[in-house]
Amino acid sequence: MAKRAGSRRVARRSEEELEKLKVAGQIVGETLELVRAQIAPGVTTLELDKLAEAHIRARGALPSFKGYQGYPAATCIQIDDVVVHGIPDDTVLEVGQVVGVDLGACYDGYHGDAAFTTVVGQPGEYHGLLDATQGALMAGIAQARAGNRLKQISKAIQEYVESRGYSVVRQLTGHGIGQQLHEPPQIPNFYSPGAFEDYELVLQPGMVLAIEPMVNVGTAQVQVDKEDGWTVRTADGELSAHFEHDVVVTDSEPLILTLAEGAKLLSDVSGYWKA
C-alpha cells in the first residue's frame, strides 16, 4: 500500500524482529500467489479479496489493510488506469485487463506488504509495461545496500522506467515497514534534489524497506476518486502497473522477504512474478 504521509526516525530491526517480519512476508507472498492463480475472466475482485483474507487469517495473521485509516478490504485491486488503492467489489474481470493486487499481513505485531500486476488472459501488448515496472523494482532493490544513500534506490527506479519510455508516479512513495504498515523512511521512485529529506539517508543493516514503483503508460500525474477517497487513477486514463517487495538491508546483499517460498537474497531471485 503506497504511502502519502511524512517521515521520521528509521528503525533498525533486531534478529528477533526480523524473524517475525520474515513470517509476515512469506504469508504475503503465499497469499499473492494464491490470488494470482485465481485471476481469470468471470472472477470478481471481491471474490479475490475474500480468498486473500481467508488465507491470511488461516496462517495466523491479520489483514494489514483492513481497517487501516478506514480502508474497507483486505486487498487493494487495481484494474487498467487504477494505480493503487482500488477497493474490491462486484466488478467482473475481463480478458485483456491489466490487474494489480496489493495486500498486507500482520503477524505477531509485524507487517508485510507486497504487490504484483498481471493481465487477465493473454498479456500481449502489455508485456512492456509490466516488465518495465518489475525491472524497476529489482533495480531499486539492488541499491538497497548498507552504505548506499536512499536516493540511489530512487534514481535506479526512475532511470530504469524512463529509459523504457514510461512515467514514474511521483505523488506516492514506498516506505519503511515493521510494527506499523507505514514507517519512515519515505522512498520516492524518482530523484529530485531537495524534494525529500530522506534522499540523503545512509542505509544501514536491519532497516526494512517496502520498495514499490508505480509506473504509467502516459503522464506521471494521478488523481484520487472523490466518491470513495481511496482509488488513485492515472490523470489521463492510461494504463498503470505496480510491483512491490519488502527488503532488509544487510551487511551484504538485500534480503527479499515477501516471497511465497520464504526470504531470499537478491542473487537467488530471478524473474519473480514475471508477466
What per-residue confidence (pLDDT) applies to 274? 43
- Domain CATH number, residue 55: 3.90.230.10
For the segment 158-184, what is each residue's pLDDT rounded down to a tens digit? 999 999 999 999 999 999 999 999 999
Is there a domain that residue 10 lies in?
no
What per-residue confidence (pLDDT) applies to 8? 60
CA–CA separation, 62 vs 109, rounded Å? 9
Is there a domain that residue 261 lies in?
yes
How many H helices and E strands in the chain? 4, 16
What per-residue confidence (pLDDT) applies to 271? 55
Is there a domain that residue 7 lies in?
no
Cβ-based neighbours of 164, under 8 Å, separated by 6 or more: 128, 132, 135
Is there a domain that residue 275 lies in?
no
Specify the residue for cell string 494464491: 34
* Nearest partner of 187 among 120, 137, 125, judged by Cα: 137
List the domain range (segments joined by +) for residue 225.
Answer: 15-268
What per-residue confidence (pLDDT) applies to 9? 85
List of the chain residues with pLDDT < 70: 3-8, 123-125, 270-275
CA–CA separation, 156 vs 167, rounded Å? 14
Residue spans of alpha helices (H) in 59-194: 127-142, 150-162
Question: Domain tally for the chain?
Answer: 1
Contact 39, 48 (CB under 8 A): yes
Is there a domain that residue 274 lies in?
no
What per-residue confidence (pLDDT) applies to 275? 39
Is there a domain that residue 224 lies in?
yes
CA–CA separation, 170 vs 135, rounded Å? 18
For the segment 248-265, what is each residue's pLDDT rounded down to a tens digit? 999 999 999 999 999 999
Is there a domain that residue 150 lies in?
yes
What per-residue confidence (pLDDT) applies to 124? 63
Is there a domain that residue 89 lies in?
yes
* Nearest partner of 136 among 207, 215, 196, 29, judged by Cα: 215
What per-residue confidence (pLDDT) applies to 4? 53
